[in-house]
Amino acid sequence: MTDLPNVHVRAEVLAQALPHMQRYDQEIVVIKYGGHAMGDRAAAEDFAEDIVLLEQSGLKPIVVHGGGPQIGRMLERLGIQSEFRGGLRVTDEATVEVVEMVLAGSINKQIVGWISAEGGRAIGLCGKDGNMVRAKRALRTVKDPESQEEKALDLGLVGEPEHVERGVLDAVLKAELIPVLAPVAYGADGQTYNVNADTFSGAIAGALRAKRLLLLTDVPGVLDKDKNLIPELTVEDCRRLIADGTITGGMIPKVETCIYAIDQGVEAVVILDGKVNHAVLLELFTDYGAGTLIRRK
């Protein structure tokens, strides 16, 4: 026999989601799916269900994925040494071939397969396809601990987006397909560049004036100095917390990506824990939220 109280609870949950669905109807939402947030198969299937439900509910989801752990494992298997400087993987010719193979190949098609298995219609692309994203060599500096002088970092073939051709994505979305994007791009010189997935997703969201950019990661969101979650921040708050040392390490480039995307016209950005079951649905379709929301003001 059907459990009527349970059915009524489910119906109530759906009814409560209605205003959220109306808010995002026909709006573009970019979701960055991080290498660490990918987790196990069950977590990946939950994520795929979320993406298909978004599309079926009238949203236009775009998935940008990373794959740092998977790249690291493949480099190790092939006996290729890898190092990090300033939080970014130094990328030479041999490494960029592996990066492209893993990101634009195995991971990209795996995510497309997960979405397809849940009834969605996804298409796997990278920044090279249709000249969607043109990159330039990333310029980073680091402060010398002794002299306190800023010194340039040589990251090799690490790039950052210089231009996004949105026509490719507009055509894909018009066809009611779900784009799954790998952060690999060409430079004006024809060179292949490895682009940080956070930066890539920020550029995509900014170029398309997305309603939301969600950065799924392996932490709950932005934490204060007592390691408590900060549920909401303004751009000004973010700059202040970076300056006073509250936001440190790998969270700095994530927050800088948020600021960039908002400056480009994205309404708001959320940094959230991708390991939480159905984190995307919690954030977009409930009053609960699942991370740190960053707005203009």
CA distances from 16 to 10, 211, 286 (A): 10, 20, 7
The ranges of the chain with pLDDT < 50 are 1
Q: If DSSP codes are grouped into helix, strand and coil, which group holds residue 157?
A: coil
Q: Determine whether 289 is exposed, middle or buried from the number of CB atoms within 10 Å of its CB (0-12, 13-18, 19+).
A: middle
User: What is the pLDDT at residue 34?
Assistant: 80
pLDDT at 255: 94
Cα–Cα distance for residue pair 85/200, rounded to 1 Å: 19
228: left (phi over 0), alpha (psi -120 to 50) or beta: beta
CA separation for the pair 196, 296 (Å, rounded): 23
Residue 1's pLDDT is: 46
Whole-number Å distance between alpha carbons of 42 and 287: 25
- The pLDDT assigned to 213 comes to 97
Which is nearest to 254 in space by CA: 286, 204, 213?
213
Q: Tell me how long the chain is.
A: 297
Q: 61-85: string of b/e by CB count within 10 Å (b at 16+)? A: bbbbbbbbebbbebbeeeeeebeee
HEC secondary structure over 19-85: HHHHHHCCCEEEEEECCCCCCCHHHHHHHHHHHHHHHHCCCEEEEEECCHHHHHHHHHHCCCCCCEE
Asked if 95 and 89 touch (Cβ cutoff 8 Å), the reply is: yes
Strand pairing partners for 292?
A: 271
| pLDDT for residue 18 | 85
Quick one: pLDDT at residue 277?
84
DSSP 216: E
Residue 31 identity (one-letter amino acid): I
- Residues in contact with 150: Cβ distance below 8 Å, sequence separation at least 6, in sequence order: 141, 142, 143, 144
DSSP run (H or E) holding 117: helix 108-117
Residues annotated within the binding site for substrate are: 67-68, 89, 194
CA distances from 59 to 86, 278, 294 (A): 36, 16, 20
Spatial contact of 151 and 98, defined as CB atoms under 8 Å apart: no
Domains of the chain plus CATH, in order, are 24-295 (3.40.1160.10)
> Residues with Cβ < 8 Å from 192, sequence gap 6 or more?
96, 100, 128, 157, 184, 185, 186
Which residues participate in the annotated binding site?
Answer: 67-68, 89, 194
Q: What is the pLDDT of residue 199?
A: 94
Q: Please check whether residue 201 is in contact with residue 32, taking contact to mean a CB–CB distance below 8 angstroms.
A: yes
pTM of the model: 0.90
Nearest residue to 211 (alpha-carbon basis) of 81, 33, 7, 22: 22
Do 195 and 161 form a contact (C-beta atoms < 8 A)? yes
